[in-house]
Amino acid sequence: MERLINGFRRFHRTYYQDHREVFDALASNGQSPRALVIACSDSRADPQLIFGSPPGEIFVVRNVANLVPPYAPNADYHGTSAALEFAVRALSVEHIIVMGHTHCGGVNALLKQSETPGSDFISNWMSIAQPARERALAATQDRPEDAQRTCEHETIKVSLGNLMTFPWIRERVERGDLSLHGWHFDLETGNLMRLGSEGAFEPVAL
């Protein structure tokens, strides 16, 4: 814990003081991010670090395997859906980005579900992406070494599809007020892949 406290002290002495006007403006005027990023909770894939985003620029939701559940307004707890609603209906973000990454532990657990012992929450949560598992395994029967990455890509597509089940997202997308994006970050190369209109992931030029 002392390592984290020391990190805070460095932040306060340097970054916070150097950007004091930015923090003062955000405190006085509130936030107005243009983009919502739905990313994995994995400690290796921090969207604000990857995109070099200053405070106030992106609204970030992180959960296991960057999943979006289908629209289901009921008495259950819906942390990701609540964050979506706030970002879209209160903050009026113009872009929603679902960002996956290589070596995702949640996706690995999904692929090996027959070998994975039960859990209190993870197995049920990852069942959201069951269609991604089925498509990935079918597509990589002859090359099982590609199943992990393929499933990561397909999981992003599942989340994008589920976003469109939210009526206030679909309405904004159809009006042209909101755009949805699928991105995939490679931990080994540092490269970013972007989902194209043809349904394939393409590298972002450096």
For residues 3 and 86, membership in a common domain is answered with no
Q: Could you list the residue range(s) of the whole structural domain that residue 4 is in?
A: 1-30
For residues 53 and 25, membership in a common domain is answered with no
Contact 68, 162 (CB under 8 A): yes
pLDDT for res 168: 98
For residues 69 and 21, membership in a common domain is answered with no
Q: Among 189, 198, 166, 137, which Cα is nearest to 206's?
A: 189
Q: How confident is the model at residue 117 (pLDDT cuts 50, 70, 90)?
A: low
For residues 21 and 38, membership in a common domain is answered with no
For residues 17 and 116, membership in a common domain is answered with no
pLDDT for res 13: 97
Q: What is the mean pLDDT of residues 177-193?
A: 98
For residues 69 and 40, membership in a common domain is answered with yes
* pTM for this prediction: 0.95
For residues 4 and 83, membership in a common domain is answered with no
What's the rounded Cα separation, in Å, for the pair 126 and 136?
Answer: 15
What's the rounded Cα separation, in Å, for the pair 173 and 176?
Answer: 5
The structure tokens 């306060």 sit at 12
Q: What is the mean pLDDT of residues 178-204?
A: 97
Please write the tens of the pLDDT for every residue from 31-45: 999 999 999 999 999
Mean pLDDT score of the chain, rounded to an integer? 95
Count of structural domains, the chain: 2
pLDDT of residue 127 exceeding 80, the answer is yes
172: tokens are: 């904004």
pLDDT of residue 183 exceeding 60, the answer is yes
For residues 109 and 53, membership in a common domain is answered with yes
What's the rounded Cα separation, in Å, for the pair 30 and 23?
Answer: 10
What's the rounded Cα separation, in Å, for the pair 152 and 41?
Answer: 14
Query: Please, which residues bridge with residue 40 across strands?
Result: 63
For residues 132 and 63, membership in a common domain is answered with yes
Q: How confident is the model at residue 120 (pLDDT cuts 50, 70, 90)?
A: confident
For residues 21 and 99, membership in a common domain is answered with no
For residues 14 and 70, membership in a common domain is answered with no
Please write the tens of the pLDDT for every residue from 139-162: 999 999 999 999 999 999 999 999
Contact 69, 165 (CB under 8 A): no
CATH number at residue 178: 3.40.1050.10
For residues 49 and 16, membership in a common domain is answered with no
Contact 109, 116 (CB under 8 A): yes
What's the rounded Cα separation, in Å, for the pair 135 and 4?
Answer: 41
Query: Please, which residues bridge with residue 181 across strands?
Result: 97
